Structure 1
Amino acid sequence: MGKGAISAGAVAVLVLVTGCKAVAVDTDGGRPSEGGSGSGDGKPRATATRSPTDTPSTSSTPRTPDRPDSTPTRPSTPPPPTAPAKILMERGDHGGQVRELQARLRQIGWFYENPTGTYGPATTSSVGEFQAKRGLPRTGATDTVTWQKLRGMTREPTRTELYAGGGMPAAKPDKRCMTGRVLCIAKSSRTLTWMVDGKAVSTMDVRFGSQYTPTREGTFSVYWKSRHHVSTLYDTAMPYAMFFSGGQAVHYSADFAARGYAGGSHGCVNVRDEKKIASLFAQVRKGDRVVIYK
């Protein structure tokens, strides 16, 4: 037998790894020994090498239970307290913002009076009802939350809406009003300003003609005054009438005093403050100018 030859009974064993189970295979082509026992020839078997994929054997050392996360759970931070709403307007206040509040409430049917600029009982009640309807604290005072809610539901009031009941500041005087004695009448502000040598003596609310009987615009002169005048055309009283163009005149109107801007004239310039028109009638003379402009 040559050097390095294998004896007939000698069986060299190679170990194959299949999955996680080692299988012994004879080198002479025989079937593998699935039992994994020796061949019985007394020769030592090759020692199987553990594959990295083999499941490690169970250690005799007792397993240490999993430790909980050593990082303590941080309690959730409560939200910062909500700052109380700031009061912007309340009962007893006056001014343009109050007038705007009233006009906005009127747009959505929560205020039925004309804006006055005075925060009185009616305004307090309207604001309170508006707040209650929308789940806000019913205080009757207008705070920042109430004001933002109202602004989001309404639009910017027009000049006419802000002064639906009158009291609008007079418009800038027309340049024709700056000299002499003039009844300066502005349609944009619905005001009559009695001016003498460029200075305003008095201002009053006025109402004009309707769409089909408009008040004429231009420069005119007072040609006739009638203290207790009655219209022969409409059989209507026209106290303190000062005629300036045909049948059109500046005069006191009881209807204007009662209904405000809900009505209109037949072309005349109506005044609703009887004391003011009486004072004006006493000062105006025939020949004084009348200027009517947009």
Structure 2
Amino acid sequence: MTHPPGDPMRALRVLLMTILVVAGLGAAAYGAGVAVQHYEHGRETASARDPLPVAPSSTGATDPTSEQSSAPPSTPPTPSETERPDPQPVLEPGTEGEQVRELQSRLFQLAWLPETTTGKYDATTRKAVAGFQTKRGIEATGVVDQHTWRRLVAMTETPTHDQMFNVLHPGPTLLGPGDEGTDVRDLQARLQSIQWLTGDVSGTYDSTTEQAVEGFQAKRAIPVTGEVDQRTMDRLHAMTVAPTHAAMFNEAPDTGSNTPGTLDARCRTGRVLCIDKTSQTLRWVVDGKVLKTLDVRFGASYSPTREGVFHVYNMDADHVSHLYGSAMPYSMFFSGGQAVHYSSDFAARGYAGASHGCVNVRDYDGLAWLFGQVRVGDEVVVYWS
């Protein structure tokens, strides 16, 4: 059907279509404006934060307005001054090998262990580690954790292969052939006290002294040179005491006999080595009768001779100390490592020295006779009168 010009229905339809077109364009413009506002808002919000890397989401997309956008990268935090990481064992008792040798070498540098390494994390090594830890304010577990190891490494030098495997090299010579003077006399008197040197102290480093030093070094796994280096000197001093003037200049010691005190009641029956600390005498008593009296000396305050009633449990006429390497002729053991035995140091220096806990006798022939009388099981009484 056609409508004539000026038809009111046609005009109405045109008006309606115009309104719809205008409305559509306005909606589109409004949507675009909202999107722009949203973008601007996101940009402003992001610029107000610290410029940290954005962590990706699980889908790989990045959301600049999410909580993840402000999180730092996943790196471990730095411990504070009071915060320490959990200690992890580096070395512990029972471990063996080269790293244990390195540990022992480093502990030796700080005087916690002997120079010789074993490569075995034994009880001695554990005790040394615990001592080191205590000294440095670390929990004394005896186990080397990371904190202990770092502290030890910082305080010591990396040991060489030879140091770790006990390949020893002699150090600079302190005393050697041709030297003379008081230091040589001191050396000779010390060697004499542990029976490496016989005869008079001369003050001259002669061939006899050189041979004595060689013997001492060989016995203790020190490089054998016959010359005294620091290692040899330290070991000799650890085993001996400072010699007296009499010992260094061949002056006769006081050999007067001591006067025995009252015989202890426990010594009056049976076969007894009756040892009186007050009068410094030893009496061999059989059924209450004193058959022999000998002068004796005892241990120092840091290694006292024990008092009480004991029994002879071992006898060895040619005993040599496992700890000190010195000869202990006619040893009669009565308490642990303590024994009655002859002492050349007592014979040379008298009461200027002391034992390491044993009962020293200076009369060699008298003790040899006594050794022939005593039997394992005989009683030993040590007392103050």
Instruction: Verify same fold: TM over 0.5.
Output: no
What is the TM-score of this pair, normalised by structure 2? 0.34
> Which of the two has greater strand per residue?
1
What is the TM-score of this pair, normalised by structure 1? 0.44
Return the structure number with greater relative CO, CA threshold 8 A, min gap 6. 1
**Larger C-alpha radius of gyration, 1 or 2?**
1
> Which of the two has greater helix per residue?
2
